[in-house]
Structure formats: structure tokens, C-alpha cells
């Protein structure tokens, strides 16, 4: 076949015959929104989906804010800045017990005990003091104390809203059926004015000292704390868990036979608006500003506290007031005498009350011996 070229007459005529030219505007462009729109585009959602999405976003925001609030609270810590303390009162020597009232009423802890008054305690030799120490002990003479064993509970005549308290202890009580304690409270207004247990243990007391707060509502310790002790519980409310309080457990050598073998030691408790802290110093490691009564004690130099109860979620000033210093040795009672503690944990024999009634000599180690109590308060 002969090729006539692109512009040949025959080629042009064929091209023109196959084109049907259209005049006028171009046809409209068809766009399908359903085919192009993403499922994440809210413009294509139903009303129900939009409402559910908004509700979900609000819930997520609430959770984020709540978590952030809790984290912020848990990260807060009070200002335990240095205070300048001055000695206000000293309990020591032969007049030690002159500064205390003797409690003789019903034991609020359901103890198997008769608390003896001042004259009776002196006659029975349950309390006595020398120039170097004061002793408070349980009766070891009665062999058939069927209504309860005689003991002593003393309460300081002076009361305190704050301060630094130094308890120099030479010997701590221990033995089956015993429940000794050195603590602070306002007995006439318990639990509204709070309770601070500085020294407390039960029975053989082989697990060391326990420090605890007991309060009304809105005092919790599930916050940042700086201490070496072990947390036992964080809700200080007295009606929680049979009034167990918010406790901190100390090491084995902080109480009982182990502590006595070290010659005792000093417990220091600081009560202030920022919080409540407790330190323990074994006899061989007492700081000079604690051992020297003429010195000014400075807790900021003592290192990390054994127990720390900060004010982060507990208004110390409203939960603790009019605190008396109390020392007593209870017998059996709701803690020491409970079967789970007396028999199971401490392996003590029989029932607590039967043991306490008939085994007088079992209480020969059931005595406190105090070198001194000193109370300091901040100036300015």
C-alpha cells in the first residue's frame, strides 16, 4: 500500500468522517461523598455516634485530670524546715511522778487490769523513782488475780499542742499478756483530739516497736513519706479496722529484750503543723544535742526519721490538740489478748486472762524504767 503522509488528502478525509464535534459547556463532574469520606471524619457520623464520642472524650479528660491530681498530691511534701527549740519541761529524778495524774478508771481497751492510784502504787512498789531513773511496773505478787492484775497508767498534768518530745528509756516491758505503751492523747476528748503512739508493743514484742496515729475522719497517709520504718496501714481513722490506726513498724531491736540488751535508747517525737515524725537512737548512737540536756536539739541534723506522718492529707493542727504524755502497761486487752495475736503470733499459752491471773512471776520483766522525759517547744 502506498503511504501518502499525515497531511495527505485521503488521510484527512478519513479523520474528519470519524469525529462528531459537540458544542456547549462541559458536562458536570460527579463526586460521591460516601465513597471518598473517611470513617474517622465526624461529618459522616450519625447523631448517636457523635453523642457517644463526646461522652467518651469527657470521660477520658476526667480520668486524666483525676490521675494528674492524685499524682500531684502524692508528690507533695510538707516543709519540715528547721525550728529553734527551747526546753520547756523536764520529767526526771525523784520527783518524776509528781508531774503525773494516776488513772484509776475503767480500761477503755478492755484490759484485764486494775489501774492503781498514786498512794496504792507507792505502797505496792508499782511506781518509784530515784535520782537517776523512774520505774513503772506490773504487780508480781498476786497469784490469783481473778478480776485483773494490778498495774499503772499515768497521764501528764500538762498538755501540749506541739513540741519536740524526748523519751529516754532504759528498759521496756515485755512478756505474754503485756501491752505497754508511751503515747500522747487528750483522754477527755478521744478520739477528737487524736492519739500519737510513740512506743507500743504486745506480748513477747520480738518484732520491735510500732508507731501509730489514731484520729477522726480525713487523716490519711497514702502520700509521699520520708522514713525508714515499714508502713502497716495508711488510714488513721479510729473506726477503721478495729481502731488499728495508721501504723509504722520499726526494726526488731527498737523494743523489748533486744532493746534492753543495748541499754535502751531515746525516742524523739516531733509534733508540728507540717507533720509528726519519730526517730529512735540506740544508747550507743544518741546525738550530742539529745544526750546533752543543755544543748538545743535540731531534728534537721538527725537524718531520715523512723516514722513520718506528713500533713499532706491530714490537717495536724485540727486533728491533734491538748496532748498529755501517757505511760501505762495494760494486761491482755483488745490487742495483746486477742487469740490471733496472743496464741497464734506470739505463741503464748492458754487464754490470756487465765495466764495473767495466776502467773505472777511471768511479769518480772513487765516494767518501764525511764531516765527522763524532756519537752521542747519552738520559739518565735
Q: How confident is the model at residue 380, as a pLDDT? A: 63
What is the DSSP pairing of strand 163-171 with strand 265-272?
antiparallel
Q: Specify burial of residue 142 (Cβ count, 10 A radius: 0-12, 13-18, 19+).
A: middle
Q: How confident is the model at residue 22, as a pLDDT? A: 53
Q: How confident is the model at residue 74, as a pLDDT? A: 62
200 is catalytic: yes
> Distance (Å, rounded) from C-alpha 18 to C-alpha 268?
111
> Distance (Å, rounded) from C-alpha 152 to C-alpha 168?
19
Mean pLDDT by 10 residues, the chain (380 residues): 41 48 58 58 75 84 72 80 97 98 92 97 98 98 96 98 98 98 97 98 97 97 98 94 92 98 98 98 98 96 98 98 98 96 97 98 98 93
> Distance (Å, rounded) from C-alpha 319 to C-alpha 192?
7
Q: Order of strands, edge to edge, in the sheet holding 178-185?
A: 100-102, 153-156, 324-331, 178-185, 195-200, 210-214, 246-249, 230-231
364 is catalytic: no
> Distance (Å, rounded) from C-alpha 154 to C-alpha 370?
13
Other Cβ atoms within 10 Å of 56 Cβ, number: 10
> Distance (Å, rounded) from C-alpha 335 to C-alpha 107?
13
Residues 173, 367: contact at Cβ < 8 Å? yes
Q: How confident is the model at residue 65, as a pLDDT? A: 75
Q: Which of 92, 195, 270, 365 is catalytic?
A: 195
201 phi and psi angles, rounded to 5 deg: -160, 170
Q: How confident is the model at residue 21, as a pLDDT? A: 55
Residues 269, 285: contact at Cβ < 8 Å? no
Both ends of the chain: CA-CA distance in Å? 122
* pTM assigned to the model: 0.82
Question: What string of DSSP letters covers 97-113?
Answer: GGGEEEP-S--TT-BSE
Nearest to 358 by CA among 109, 112, 107, 103: 112
Sign of CA dihedral 215, 169, 152, 154: negative
Max alpha carbon distance in the chain (Å)?
A: 150
Q: Which of 92, 155, 200, 365 is catalytic?
A: 200
Place of cell 499524682: 71
> Distance (Å, rounded) from C-alpha 342 to C-alpha 111?
13
Sign of CA dihedral 133, 161, 329, 241: negative
What is the DSSP pairing of strand 113-115 with strand 149-151?
parallel
> Distance (Å, rounded) from C-alpha 88 to C-alpha 164?
10
Amino acid at each position: 500500500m502506498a503511504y501518502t503522509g499525515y497531511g495527505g488528502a485521503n488521510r484527512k478525509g478519513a479523520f474528519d468522517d470519524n469525529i462528531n464535534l459537540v458544542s456547549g459547556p462541559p458536562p458536570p463532574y460527579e463526586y460521591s461523598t460516601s465513597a471518598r469520606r473517611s470513617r474517622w471524619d465526624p461529618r459522616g457520623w450519625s447523631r448517636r455516634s457523635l453523642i457517644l464520642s463526646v461522652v467518651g472524650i469527657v470521660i477520658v479528660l476526667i480520668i486524666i485530670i483525676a490521675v494528674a491530681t492524685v499524682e500531684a498530691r502524692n508528690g507533695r511534701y510538707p516543709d519540715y524546715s528547721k525550728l529553734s527549740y527551747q526546753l520547756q519541761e523536764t520529767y526526771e529524778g525523784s520527783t518524776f511522778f509528781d508531774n503525773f495524774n494516776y488513772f484509776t478508771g475503767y480500761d477503755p481497751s478492755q484490759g484485764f487490769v486494775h489501774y492503781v492510784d498514786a498512794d496504792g502504787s507507792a505502797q505496792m512498789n508499782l511506781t518509784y523513782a530515784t535520782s537517776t531513773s523512774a520505774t513503772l511496773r506490773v504487780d508480781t505478787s498476786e497469784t490469783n488475780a481473778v478480776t485483773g492484775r494490778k498495774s499503772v497508767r499515768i497521764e501528764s498534768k500538762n498538755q501540749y499542742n506541739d513540741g519536740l518530745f524526748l523519751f529516754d528509756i532504759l528498759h521496756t516491758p515485755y512478756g505474754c499478756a503485756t501491752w505497754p505503751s508511751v503515747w500522747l492523747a487528750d483522754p477527755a476528748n478521744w478520739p477528737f483530739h487524736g492519739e500519737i503512739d510513740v512506743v507500743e508493743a504486745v506480748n513477747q514484742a520480738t518484732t520491735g516497736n510500732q508507731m501509730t496515729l489514731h484520729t477522726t475522719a480525713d487523716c490519711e497517709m497514702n502520700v509521699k513519706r520520708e522514713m525508714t520504718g515499714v508502713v502497716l496501714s495508711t488510714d488513721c481513722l479510729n473506726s477503721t479496722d478495729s481502731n488499728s490506726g495508721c501504723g509504722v513498724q520499726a526494726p526488731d531491736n527498737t523494743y523489748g529484750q533486744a532493746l534492753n540488751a543495748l541499754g535502751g535508747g531515746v525516742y524523739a517525737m516531733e509534733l508540728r503543723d507540717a507533720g509528726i515524725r519519730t526517730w529512735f537512737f540506740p544508747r550507743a548512737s544518741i546525738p550530742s544535742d539529745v544526750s546533752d540536756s543543755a544543748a538545743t536539739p535540731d531534728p534537721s541534723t538527725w537524718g531520715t526519721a523512723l516514722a513520718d506522718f506528713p500533713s499532706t492529707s491530714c490537717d495536724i493542727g485540727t486533728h491533734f490538740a491538748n496532748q498529755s504524755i501517757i505511760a501505762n502497761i495494760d494486761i491482755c486487752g483488745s490487742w495483746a489478748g486477742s487469740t490471733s495475736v496472743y496464741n497464734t503470733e506470739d505463741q503464748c499459752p492458754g487464754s490470756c486472762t487465765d495466764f495473767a491471773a495466776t502467773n505472777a512471776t511471768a511479769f518480772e520483766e513487765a516494767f518501764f524504767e525511764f531516765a527522763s522525759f524532756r519537752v521542747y517547744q519552738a520559739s518565735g
